[in-house]
């Protein structure tokens, strides 16, 4: 086999692809899901819970913010009590 | 107005299902291009899915006066392929397959080895040369289209393709003459 033939056969082989049958359906499902998510209200409690539980750092952030808020509230109460 | 532009307008007006025409028309060239650039059969379809999803989300930014839709879509695919390749370790020329026992290209049993060597040669090309080569040889894009897609001058594209072809020709010569 000559170099040119090898090259052309290789090129032909590289041009063939096996695409999964439902590829377009998968793309469209992702797009429909995106559209559904877009229509949901921004401050939907369910969405907020989903977002929070999906990311480790968001979860840690929410816990930290809650602890800080709790401590601040305790300090505020104690300060007011002592001021009386 | 071309059929494609009509479809894009329909999608932008809220007819999401029309986007399926775009996916079905371009799925094969996009997957093939990504596969040949990234050399990753496993993830090329996932990357292609990301390409179409990104195209859908950014469809409003497509300007027919600036480029063809296919060039715009291929640019997204190019960028996603580059990102995917950054996550992969580059292959150097020294990592090409070792010489085979069969030295004569007429030996049919050695054919797949020649292809492997060409695959490795393609994989070892610098990223920009490889993209230019894949786009012109496998996607049959013109130099002008590739230049637009890559954001460089036509001369640069010609030079990248020539260099890539020379390197692959050398890989073929090695197959013929190595002992």
- Give tens-digit pLDDT for A25-48: 999 999 999 998 888 776 777 777
Q: In a mutagenesis test of the A interface, which of B7, B25, B26, B28 is the best target, namely the one with the most A β-carbons within 10 Å?
A: B28
For chain B, domain boundaries: 1-88, 92-179
Q: Which of these ranges, A12-26, A35-49, B29-43, B126-140, has the smallest mean pLDDT?
A: A35-49
Closest A-chain CA to B111: A6
For residue B101, what are the CA distances in angstroms to B27, B110, B177? 39, 8, 12
State the fold for domain B92-179. Arc Repressor Mutant, subunit A (1.10.10)
B57 in contact with A, Cβ within 8 Å: yes
B27 in contact with A, Cβ within 8 Å: yes
Q: List, for residues B58-111, the tens digit of each pLDDT value.
A: 999 999 888 889 999 999 999 999 998 887 655 554 444 444 444 455 555 567
Residue B133, class by beta-carbon neighbours within 10 Å (0-12 exposed, 13-18 middle, 19+ buried)?
Answer: buried
Question: From CA A39, how far away is CA A34, in angstroms rounded?
Answer: 9
Complex confidence, ipTM:
0.75
Q: In a mutagenesis test of the B interface, which of A2, A5, A6 is the best target, namely the one with the most B β-carbons within 10 Å?
A: A6
Model pLDDT, residue B158: 95
Contacts of B127 (CB under 8 A, 6+ apart): B82, B85
The overall pTM is greater than 0.80: no
> What average pLDDT does the segment B44-70 reach?
93
Q: Supply the DSSP string of B135-146, one letter for each residue.
A: HHHTS---HHHH
Model pLDDT, residue B178: 53
CATH architecture of B1-88: Orthogonal Bundle (1.10)
Closest CB to A31: pick one of B35, B56, B108. B56
Residue B177 predicted with pLDDT over 60? no
* Short-list B27, B3, B119, B131, CA closest to A27: B27
Closest CB to B36: pick one of A14, A23, A34. A14
Closest CB to A19: pick one of B27, B57, B115. B27
pLDDT over 70 for what percent of chain A?
96
Closest CB to B52: pick one of A2, A3, A27. A27
Place of tokens 């990504």: B34
Minimal CA separation from B59 to chain A, in Å? 12
């Amino acid at each position: 086999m000559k170099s040119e033939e090898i090259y052309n056969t290789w090129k032909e082989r590289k041009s063939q692809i096996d695409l999964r049958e439902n590829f377009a359906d998968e793309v469209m499902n992702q797009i429909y899901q995106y559209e559904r998510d877009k229509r949901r209200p921004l401050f939907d409690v369910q969405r907020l819970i989903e977002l929070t539980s999906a990311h480790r750092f968001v979860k840690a952030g929410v816990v930290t913010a809650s602890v800080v808020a709790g401590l601040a509230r305790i300090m505020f109460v104690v300060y007011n009590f002592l001021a009386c | 107005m071309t059929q494609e532009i009509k479809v894009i307008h329909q999608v932008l007006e809220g007819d999401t299902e029309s986007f399926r025409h775009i996916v079905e028309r371009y799925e094969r060239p996009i997957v093939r291009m990504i596969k040949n650039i990234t050399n990753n059969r496993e993830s090329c379809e996932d990357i292609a899915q990301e390409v179409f999803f990104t195209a859908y989300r950014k469809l409003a930014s497509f300007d027919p006066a600036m480029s063809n839709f296919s060039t715009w879509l291929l640019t997204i695919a190019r960028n996603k392929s580059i990102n995917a390749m950054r996550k992969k370790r580059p292959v150097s020329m020294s990592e090409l397959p070792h010489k085979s026992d069969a030295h004569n290209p007429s030996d049919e049993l050695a054919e797949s080895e020649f292809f492997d060597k060409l695959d490795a040669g393609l994989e070892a090309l610098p990223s920009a040369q490889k993209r230019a080569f894949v786009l012109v040889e496998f996607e049959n894009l013109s130099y002008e289209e590739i230049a637009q897609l890559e954001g460089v001058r036509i001369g640069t594209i010609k030079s990248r393709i020539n260099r890539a072809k020379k390197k692959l020709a050398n890989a073929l010569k090695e197959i013929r003459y190595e002992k």
